[in-house]
Structure formats: structure tokens, C-alpha cells
Amino acid sequence: MKNSNETVVKKPAVAKKSTVSKAPVALGTGRRKRAVARVFLRRGNGGMIINGLPYTEYFDTEISRLEATAPFRICEEALKFDIAANVQGGGKEAQADAVKLGFSRALVEIYQNLRPLLSQNKFLSVDSRVKERKKYGQKGARRKFQFVKR
């Protein structure tokens, strides 16, 4: 008989060791407007996770999906990696551009010979256009209040 004071202690389940390392191989940071993406490359077979979701669920338009996965179509070496990205700020289109830039930078960190190919396709250039701030005494950044003659 067991005493009511005794507790049964179970051993924790032992995690199976995987052959694929989960440690990031490379890190790339991409920015566009207000969006900032930290992209981690891990050995794998071309999967993409954005903020814990598959990229097809996270990006709602086909244009932003194509923009985020553009380096996969340009270089074959990209298919050897899984991508995990943390994205903050901006809209979905800006976030897709930020992921593309971070992904490209991380690829160049591993394969330096890809730099000319990615540069030629404008994947390593930062689109620095941001929203201009509103000025005082005006209706917007450049728009003035309507002139009243009388």
C-alpha cells in the first residue's frame, strides 16, 4: 500500500537528437521604412518561418510572398537553408522587403561569391525611402493650407 504522502516522480522525456543542427549558421538584418527583420539561416531544405508562422500565412498578398522569397529563385545555394525571421514595425510589404534584404545579407555572410549575383539583382541595396514628417504651419509634409485672399 502507498502512503497518501508519497508522490510518484516521473523521469523527464529525453529529447531525440536530430542530425540537423538547430543553431543558426548565419544572421542577416534587413530594414525597409519602419520594418526591421532579423533573419536566421539554419541548415534545412528551404522552409521559411516569419514570426512563428509559415510565410504563406504571414504574408497575405502574393506580391509580398514573392518579394520575401526572391533570393530562393535567384541562387540554388539558398535552398540548402531554412529561414526563421523576426520582423517588427512597418506594413507587410515593407516587412517582406526587409526579410529579402536580411536573407540576402545572411547568404553573403556564408557564400561571399554570391555578392555579385545578389547585387546585380538589387537584393543587397537598401531602399532608404521613408515617410517625410509633417511640418508645422502646414497641412502635411508638403501640403500647405489653402490660401484665402479675403
User: Hey, what domains does the chain have and what are their CATH numbers?
Assistant: 26-120 (3.30.230.10)
**pTM given for the model:** 0.78
Distance (Å, rounded) from C-alpha 67 to C-alpha 69? 6
How far apart CA 25 and CA 106 sit, in angstroms, is: 9
Neighbour tally for 33: CB within 10 Å:
18
pLDDT tens-digit map of 19-64: 455 777 889 999 999 999 999 999 988 889 999 999 999 999 999 9
Rounded to 5 degrees, what are φ and ψ at 12?
A: -70, 145
* Nearest-10 Cα torsion for 5, 6, 11, 12: -10
Selected residue with higher pLDDT from 142 and 7: 142
CA distance 96 to 16: 34
Tallying the residues shown for the chain, one arrives at: 150
Confidence grade of residue 15 (pLDDT, cut at 50, 70, 90): very low
Cβ contacts of residue 15 below 8 Å, gap of 6+?
none
Percent of the chain with pLDDT over 70: 86
H or E element at residue 3 = none
How far are the Cα atoms of 23, 33, 37, 96, 108 from residue 62, in angstroms, in the given order?
Answer: 30, 20, 19, 11, 26
d(CA 83, CA 60): 18
Higher local confidence (pLDDT), 141 or 9: 141
